[in-house]
């Protein structure tokens, strides 16, 4: 379809044409070149007066010898300008027909797939101002990675990726998934989360293995050590990994005044309670079809930096030895963890720079998500071969994007300010930047801001101290009903949480007080404290999610039958009770309010 004719002076890079049929800004057009090939072009602006509309256009090029070339001669005035067909666009840009489904070219029915291998080995950057959809776009890519069984780790400072377990429940988004052949899907079996168990019941404890090098401790110390203190520390560790208690004991035995300040810092680190002999197992963290969330919500920034520095450094070392499979690491709010040097240094800066420059050689891909590209290390940003740029308005951030991302012209830089939520300029994976509408997510988005007008600020707030601790299930009632198609009723059942020790080993175990069974080992130990057999082989063991259906078969009233004293007597036969706390478990029982008494 002819949409106009070229007028005025043209060059090999740009031209104007008189619009004869309606055309939109950033629409693709094609023009016949003197070399006998059609050339793909794009409308970059429209000018209108009382008599005519003129489209200012950019020459993109034509495909020849498996690459895009630009014409050597400008188009002649009077040459017809045609509306570019979908096939011509796809053939010229060479948009693949397989890979990670990101969305579609804006205004066209052309699906955009990202090359899986290129994306994961040559790094990814997602850039946008706050609230412009960067976490949503990242969620789309994460879904595609999980579906391919690629090991994935997400550093999540705000705890917003927990919703990957749950299917999308927004009707308007579900309707848009159908034409793509997709449907809502949760990844409850693939996603495992580590974090502060007091803030999120769905988390496993985020504890690091108590096996530390001097460099680990240097990273964690709140103040710089003197030369004498550094010597003391190196002597205590002796070029090998040591547990914190052993380091403290070794330094306490030294007779020097330098130990006083060092010991106070070591005891401060011990008080953080982030180390455990049964801490993170990297073989469990990095597995096929496993998405591991490092939920740092609630931790101070200094501790977040240390967790990232320690975990990523260990993973990089293990990957170089090929002790773990290839993996992809996503770092949210990356400007906080690898800032430009003029903004200061983070404990995690060095390892993130290393992964950006060397990770691809060892099969460790990096994805950085940031709302402040001006504040992130420029070397890290420039190492990302694929960039998703969503709405950004800060002049310094726009300048940083232009300096770090190839193919961003002044016209596109201006348009970044005006991008709609859910639209992105995607560069790097193709030979030219393209505008893409991000597809709807199959999982639920966890990054929604609080709506203060709809928030319920009414109601009574009882004193926390007057209430028993309540342990919540990993899935809330509404989500459970969506996943199972059944109706559930919330109820509390009595329980006791016990800390016990035996010959140096520690166990934290939860018992329900209806039948006196073990509910779950809080620290996910592999063996039962009673039989020495794996939990999976004990008939009485079940998780909090499974518990209601088992109990309801024998007792609809779910009342306490077993005393805390009787539980203690069982434990004291083999274990010393260090502490215990009576609590309640919030559970969901199939049925209605009429058939369950709490």
CB crowding 391-424: b at 16 or more within 10 Å, else e: bbeeeebbebbbebbeebeeebbebbeebeebbb
Q: What residues does 579 pair with on adjacent strands?
A: 499
In this prediction, residue 318 carries a pLDDT of 95
In this prediction, residue 556 carries a pLDDT of 45
Q: Residue 172 pLDDT > 60, yes or no?
A: yes
Average pLDDT over residues 161-174: 93
Lowest mean pLDDT among 116-125, 286-295, 479-488: 479-488
In this prediction, residue 553 carries a pLDDT of 42
In this prediction, residue 314 carries a pLDDT of 93
Location of structure tokens 């004291």: 572
CB crowding 216-255: b at 16 or more within 10 Å, else e: bbebbbeeebeeebeebbeebbeeeebebeebbebbeeee
- Using CB atoms within 10 Å of the CB of residue 82, give its burial: 0 to 12 exposed, 13 to 18 middle, 19+ buried: middle
Q: Model confidence over 245-254: pLDDT tens digits? A: 888 988 988 8
Residue 483 pLDDT grade (very low, low, confident, very high; cuts 50, 70, 90)? low
CB 331 within 8 A of CB 230: no
Average pLDDT over residues 365-378: 94
In this prediction, residue 469 carries a pLDDT of 63
Q: Residue 54 pLDDT > 90, yes or no?
A: yes
Joined together, the tokens standing for residue 467 give 């209430």
Q: Residue 558 pLDDT > 70, yes or no?
A: no
CA angle 523, 526, 529 (to 5 degrees): 80
Neighbours of 330 (CB within 10 A): 25
In this prediction, residue 536 carries a pLDDT of 34
CB 214 within 8 A of CB 196: no
Cα distance between residue 413 and residue 394, in whole Å:
11
In this prediction, residue 258 carries a pLDDT of 85
Q: Residue 408 pLDDT > 80, yes or no?
A: no
Backbone φ, ψ for residue 464 (5° rounding): -60, -40
Q: Residue 581 pLDDT > 80, yes or no?
A: no
CA distances, 162 to each of 159, 337, 441, 457, 475 (Å): 6, 21, 14, 25, 10
Q: Residue 542 pLDDT > 60, yes or no?
A: no
In this prediction, residue 567 carries a pLDDT of 82
Backbone φ, ψ for residue 426 (5° rounding): -110, 125
- At residue 420, the 3 state secondary structure works out as coil
In this prediction, residue 121 carries a pLDDT of 84
Average pLDDT, the chain: 82
Residue 481 pLDDT grade (very low, low, confident, very high; cuts 50, 70, 90)? confident
CA distances, 129 to each of 153, 171, 312 (Å): 23, 26, 26
Q: Residue 243 pLDDT > 80, yes or no?
A: yes
Location of structure tokens 């509306």: 83
Average pLDDT over residues 529-549: 36
Nearest to 61 by CA among 579, 494, 400, 433: 433
In this prediction, residue 259 carries a pLDDT of 87
Q: Residue 26 pLDDT > 60, yes or no?
A: yes
In this prediction, residue 535 carries a pLDDT of 31
In this prediction, residue 462 carries a pLDDT of 43
CA distances, 142 to each of 101, 118, 202, 287 (Å): 11, 15, 19, 15
In this prediction, residue 65 carries a pLDDT of 85
The pairing of strands 2-7 and 14-19 is antiparallel
Location of structure tokens 């592999």: 526
Backbone φ, ψ for residue 251 (5° rounding): -70, -35
What percent of the chain has pLDDT above 70? 84
In this prediction, residue 468 carries a pLDDT of 53
In this prediction, residue 256 carries a pLDDT of 85
Q: Residue 41 pLDDT > 90, yes or no?
A: yes
CB 136 within 8 A of CB 445: yes
Residue 501 pLDDT grade (very low, low, confident, very high; cuts 50, 70, 90)? confident
- At residue 466, the 3 state secondary structure works out as helix
Q: What residues does 81 pair with on adjacent strands?
A: 4, 31
Q: Model confidence over 281-336: pLDDT tens digits? A: 999 999 999 999 999 998 999 899 999 999 999 999 999 999 999 999 999 999 99
Cα distance between residue 112 and residue 104, in whole Å:
5
Residue 200 pLDDT grade (very low, low, confident, very high; cuts 50, 70, 90)? confident
In this prediction, residue 456 carries a pLDDT of 52
- Is the model more confident about 104 or about 490? 104
Type and span of the H or E element at 45: strand 38-48
Q: Residue 459 pLDDT > 50, yes or no?
A: no
Q: Model confidence over 91-108: pLDDT tens digits? A: 888 777 788 999 999 888
CA distances, 343 to each of 375, 378, 392, 398, 472 (Å): 7, 12, 20, 18, 41
- Is the model more confident about 588 or about 437? 437
Residues whose CB falls within 8 Å of the CB of residue 92, separated by 6 or more in sequence, listed in order: 40, 60, 61, 62, 63, 68
């Amino acid at each position: 379809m002819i949409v106009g004719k070229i007028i005025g002076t043209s060059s090999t890079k740009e031209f104007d044409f008189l619009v004869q049929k309606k055309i939109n800004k950033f629409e693709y057009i094609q023009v016949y070149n003197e070399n006998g090939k059609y050339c793909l072009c794009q409308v970059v602006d429209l000018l209108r007066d009382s008599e005519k509309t003129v489209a200012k256009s950019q020459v993109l090029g034509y495909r020849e010898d498996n690459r895009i070339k630009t014409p050597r001669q400008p188009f002649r005035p009077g040459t017809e300008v045609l509306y570019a067909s979908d096939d011509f666009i796809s053939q010229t840009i060479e948009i693949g027909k397989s890979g990670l489904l990101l969305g579609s070219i804006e205004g066209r029915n052309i699906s955009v797939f990202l090359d899986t291998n290129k994306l994961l080995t040559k790094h990814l950057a997602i850039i946008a101002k706050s609230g412009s959809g960067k976490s949503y776009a990242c969620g789309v890519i994460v879904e595609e990675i999980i579906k391919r069984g690629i090991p994935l780790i997400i550093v999540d400072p705000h705890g917003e990726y927990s919703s990957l377990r749950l299917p999308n429940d927004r009707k308007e988004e579900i309707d848009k998934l159908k034409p793509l052949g997709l449907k809502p899907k949760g990844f409850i079996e693939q996603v495992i989360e580590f974090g502060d168990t007091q803030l999120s019941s769905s988390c496993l404890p985020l504890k690091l293995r108590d096996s530390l090098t001097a460099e680990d401790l240097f990273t964690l110390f709140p103040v710089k050590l003197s030369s004498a203190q550094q010597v003391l520390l190196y002597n205590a560790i002796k070029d090998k990994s040591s547990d914190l208690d052993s380091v403290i004991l070794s330094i306490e035995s030294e007779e020097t005044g330098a130990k006083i300040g060092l010991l106070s810092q070591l005891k401060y680190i011990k008080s953080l309670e982030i180390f455990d002999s049964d801490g993170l197992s990297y073989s469990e963290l990095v597995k096929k079809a496993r998405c591991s969330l490092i939920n740092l919500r609630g931790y101070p920034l200094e501790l977040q930096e240390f967790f990232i520095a320690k975990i990523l450094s260990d993973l990089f070392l293990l990957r170089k030895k090929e002790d773990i499979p290839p993996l992809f690491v996503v770092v949210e709010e990356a400007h906080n963890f690898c800032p430009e040097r003029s903004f200061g240094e983070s404990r995690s800066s060095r390892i993130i720079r290393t992964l950006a420059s060397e990770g691809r050689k060892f099969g460790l891909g990096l994805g950085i998500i940031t709302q402040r590209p001006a504040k992130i290390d420029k070397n890290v940003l420039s190492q990302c071969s694929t960039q998703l740029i969503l709405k950004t308005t800060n002049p310094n951030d726009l300048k940083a994007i232009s300096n770090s991302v190839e193919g961003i012209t002044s016209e596109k830089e201006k348009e970044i300010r005006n991008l709609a939520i859910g639209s992105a300029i995607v560069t790097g994976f193709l030979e030219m930047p393209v505008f893409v509408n991000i597809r709807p997510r199959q999982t639920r988005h966890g990054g929604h801001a609080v709506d203060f007008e709809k928030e319920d600020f009414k109601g009574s707030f009882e004193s926390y101290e007057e209430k028993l601790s309540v342990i919540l299930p990993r899935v809330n009632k509404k989500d459970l009903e969506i996943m199972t198609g059944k109706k559930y009723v919330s109820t509390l059942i009595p329980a006791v949480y016990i800390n016990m020790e035996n010959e140096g080993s520690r166990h934290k175990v939860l018992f329900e007080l209806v039948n006196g069974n073990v509910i779950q080992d809080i620290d996910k130990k592999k063996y039962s404290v009673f039989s020495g057999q794996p939990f999976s082989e004990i008939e009485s063991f079940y998780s909090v999610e499974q518990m209601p259906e088992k109990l309801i078969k024998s007792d609809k009233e779910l009342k306490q039958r077993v005393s805390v004293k009787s539980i203690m007597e069982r434990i004291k036969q083999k274990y010393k009770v260090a502490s215990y706390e009576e609590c309640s478990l919030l559970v969901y029982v199939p049925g209605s309010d009429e058939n369950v008494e709490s």
